[in-house]
């Protein structure tokens, strides 16, 4: 995983010459020579970065239709950089990593090299789909009572204590995800895909209202650290909308990483992050407690990005492919679809189809809480959770006339046959985090390769801690563990373990070929966002833009169901008559009453693509294709 992508001399040479070599789709290394129609090499007398200036700007357009490949993300600069890679002959993996690196610049509160994520890749040539688990890991030295305040003997409050802390920081997995993806399936080198984002960080991006609002939401946390205050609140002031935000430290970090792919695991950065986590650079004026962390350089040396098989299930003729544990996305989305499989949702009233969606989501979340954790530490019954017989038996719990009291108990994965019977009650755990500011991107290339990639630093602003001189925020992913230790809990805190994630990058195949790729941010609402979009598109017959745009509700087996304002306006009365208790979406970390911010690509006949981003959520996203029309 950590072997160099190229000899160092070659890396340096490539970093100075961003012209791309033409390669065969899916090959592991560039090929010499140029193919017809390939992008030209470096032009004599033109500075290496000059070509980027001629790239057309990508507007915030929610839908783009065309051919030749497409990119969709929450940010126009990130989409432009990914599209540039595709236009110059790179494949979907190259473009996905380049887009993710750009999001680390323009969406620093959502993603970056201080976090982790999950990468799903479908190879058109082989027909195989593989995934990378780039989830963060807990330090080896972390005690099981790390989330307990030694002064009181009680668990730290989730906010602000645990969220804004060193104890919540896990070993970042994003750098290893990028190098692993490029080594195995990419056609471009790390310097080639990082160079545009390094330039973007150096030159800066234009501050929009979302970036300013997110900074304002985090003002107290950011002001608690000298490094974070200096970068994001210079002079104690919020960035002005329309101003240019520059991050030269991040540009330098990207360039150092391009030269040394091992930088984050065996270089100087592990020492710097460990020191920052164990002795956070707090200001003298902050009142926040900022519990210290346990990371050491050895934790970074032990880290691996896991290349693993995906989850698979079938739904109405489609093969649904997702992330296996440590993510719960693939099992929970897949189980909910299995529960819904036996119902003619398209023939129901809108209220009844939503009622079944809400009940299926709650049932799948009950099983998620009871059974899913890091597969390296927990025997997760993936085959049982994704069994159609198990789903049919769980569907027996849905009463079309009345919502079940929540929380519902988990099903019994050791005793099921698909027939309706009174289940033995099984304990489960609940999940309340919702508007976690993750980000998702989706890419397809001219050859039919597809990537769905969700990456994060957890809360909006992560831990709130910027590594000195590096320009990126550290994650607070360890708060995804259960906050109290229970030996029976599959998501209990353990040294070296990955916390259970909700990230759910998903690819659907039809007749063995990609039909739809999608994903979303949003903490535990990621699962329900992906599930609801699939319900809208497949069961209700909505077009993809409408399926993404439609108002959302998030059933997660809690006593109440979070819902967006427009969903409440349209459906609250009829759903409450069925026993659902709907409440407005939102939490303490964001001023927006939104659920998710999805991106998706639908692949049609003859290479035609429909590329979709959010029109409004998170300020609207940017979808683009290589050849519009």
Residue 587 CA, distance from chain mean position: 19
Q: DSSP letter string over 399-410?
A: BTTBPPPSSPPB
438 is catalytic: yes
SS3 call for 233: coil
SS3 call for 568: helix
**Residue 84: closest CA among 223, 195, 248:** 195
Omega of the bond leading into 60 within 30 degrees of 0 (cis): no
121 forms bridges with which residues in the sheet?
Answer: 130, 451
Report the Cα–Cα distance between both ends of the chain, in Å, rounded.
Answer: 40
Strand bridging mode 609-613 / 622-628: unpaired
C-alpha to C-alpha distances, 230 to 115, 233, 291, nearest whole angstrom: 21, 6, 21
Element (H, E) at 252: helix 248-259
Task: Say what angle helices 248-259 and 8-16 make with each other, to 10 degrees.
Answer: 140
Where b means 16+ CB within 10 Å and e means fewer, 302-317 reads: ebebbbeebbbbebee
* Residue 22: count of CB within 10 angstroms of its CB: 19
**Annotated catalytic residue, options 332, 438, 479, 590:** 438
DSSP 540: S
Q: Are 326 and 133 in contact (CB under 8 A)?
A: yes
Catalytic residue list: 438
């Amino acid at each position: 995983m950590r072997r160099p992508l190229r000899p160092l001399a070659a890396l340096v040479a490539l970093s100075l010459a961003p012209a791309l070599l033409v390669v065969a789709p899916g090959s592991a290394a560039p090929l010499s020579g140029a193919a017809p129609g390939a992008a030209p090499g470096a032009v004599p007398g033109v500075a290496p970065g000059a070509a980027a200036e001629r790239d057309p700007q990508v507007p915030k357009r929610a839908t783009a239709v065309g051919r030749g490949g497409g990119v969709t993300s929450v940010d126009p600069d990130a989409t432009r950089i990914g599209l540039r890679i595709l236009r110059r002959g790179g494949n979907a993996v190259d473009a996905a990593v380049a887009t993710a690196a750009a999001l680390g610049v323009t969406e620093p509160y959502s993603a970056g090299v201080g976090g982790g994520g999950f990468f799903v890749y479908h190879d058109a040539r082989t027909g195989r789909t593989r995934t990378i688990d780039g989830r963060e890991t807990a330090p080896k030295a972390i005690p099981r009572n790390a989330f307990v305040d030694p002064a009181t003997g009680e668990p730290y409050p989730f906010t602000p204590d645990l969220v804004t802390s060193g104890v919540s920081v896990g070993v970042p997995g994003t750098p290893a995800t990028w190098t692993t993806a490029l080594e195995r399936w990419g056609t471009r080198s790390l310097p080639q895909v990082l160079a545009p984002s390094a330039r973007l960080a150096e030159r800066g991006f234009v501050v929009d209202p979302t970036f300013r609002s997110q900074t304002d939401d985090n003002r107290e946390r950011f002001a608690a650290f000298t490094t974070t205050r200096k970068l994001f609140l210079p002079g104690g002031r919020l960035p002005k909308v329309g101003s240019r935000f520059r991050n030269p430290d991040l540009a330098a970090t990207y360039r150092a990483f391009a030269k040394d792919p091992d930088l984050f695991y065996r270089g100087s950065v592990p020492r710097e992050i460990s020191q920052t986590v164990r002795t956070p650079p707090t200001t003298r004026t902050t009142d926040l407690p900022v519990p210290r962390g346990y990371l050491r350089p050895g934790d970074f040396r032990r880290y691996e990005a896991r290349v693993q098989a995906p989850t698979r299930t079938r739904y109405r003729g489609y093969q649904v492919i997702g992330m296996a544990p440590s993510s719960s996305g693939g099992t929970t989305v897949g189980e909910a679809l299995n529960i819904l499989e036996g119902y003619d949702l398209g023939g129901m009233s809108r209220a009844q189809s939503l009622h079944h969606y809400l009940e299926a989501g709650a049932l799948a979340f009950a099983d998620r809480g009871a059974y899913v954790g890091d597969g390296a530490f927990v025997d997760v019954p993936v085959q049982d959770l994704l069994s159609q017989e198990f789903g049919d038996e769980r569907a027996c719990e849905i009463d079309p006339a009345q919502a079940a009291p929540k929380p519902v108990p988990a099903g019994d994965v050791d005793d099921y046959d698909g027939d309706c019977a009174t289940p033995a009650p099984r304990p489960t755990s609940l999940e309340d985090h919702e508007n976690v500011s993750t980000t998702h991107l989706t890419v397809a290339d001219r050859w039919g390769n597809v990537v769905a990639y969700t990456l994060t630093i957890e809360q909006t602003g992560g831990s709130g801690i910027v590594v000195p001189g590096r320009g990126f925020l550290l994650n607070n992913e360890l708060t995804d563990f259960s906050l109290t230790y229970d030996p029976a809990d599959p998501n209990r805190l353990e040294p070296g373990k990955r916390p259970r994630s909700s990230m759910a990058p998903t690819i659907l195949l039809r007749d063995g070929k990609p039909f739809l790729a999608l994903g979303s941010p949003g903490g535990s609402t990621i699962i329900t966002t992906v599930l609801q979009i699939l319900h809208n598109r497949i069961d209700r017959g909505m077009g993809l833009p409408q399926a993404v745009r439609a108002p959302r509700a998030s059933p997660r087996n809690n006593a109440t169901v979070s819902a967006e304002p427009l969903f409440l306006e349209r459906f609250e009365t009829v759903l409450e008559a069925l026993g659902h208790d709907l409440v407005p979406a939102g939490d303490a970390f964001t001023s927006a009453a939104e659920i998710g911010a999805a991106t998706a690509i639908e692949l049609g006949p003859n290479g035609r693509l429909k590329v979709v981003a959010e029109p409004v959520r998170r300020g609207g996203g940017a979808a683009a294709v290589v050849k519009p029309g």
